[in-house]
Amino acid sequence: MRDLSFRKLTSRDKMRKVITTSEIVDKQGVHSIVHRHFICFVKEVVNNQPKPPEPYVYVLKEQDNKKHKGRFFCKVRGSVYAVSNNKLFLLIFMHTLKINLAAIKQNLVN
């Protein structure tokens, strides 16, 4: 079984975009849930603006052998400068990935 959901949201002023996906899969005795989330902001850079935020990476991995479960989480944040129509823009982004794994209990038939 596989369930997918996808959302794409754009702000009215077109300066913020959010994309999310979720996937649920039951395959080979493993139930997995994967969530991806991407946010992007666009700001025009004018004189004397503060520095962009510092890049950031966070990773968490947990495994529970007694409960047969695992979890992975990753967050990446950064920024990029871009030029369009002789204007300077700052693109600030954040991406998160969350994965949960669990063993499916099998019913044994004798």
Residues 51-55: contacts with CB under 8 Å, at least 24 apart? 52/79, 52/81, 52/90, 52/92, 53/77, 53/79, 53/92, 55/79
Predicted structure pTM score: 0.76
Integer Cα distance of 98 and 73 in angstroms: 5
DSSP-assigned letter for residue 55: P
Q: Which residues are bridge partners to 27 per DSSP?
A: 30
Q: What integer is the mean pLDDT of 13-33?
A: 86
Give the pLDDT band of residue 16 (cuts 50, 70, 90): confident
Give 28-66 pLDDT, tens digit per residue.
888 899 999 999 988 888 887 777 888 999 999 999 888
Whole-number pLDDT of residue 110: 47
Q: Say what percent of the chain tops pLDDT 90.
A: 38
By the 8 A CB rule, do 81 and 45 touch?
Answer: yes
Tokens found for residue 28: 């080979």
Mean pLDDT value of segment 82-95 = 90
pLDDT > 50? residue 108? no
CA distance 24 to 110: 30
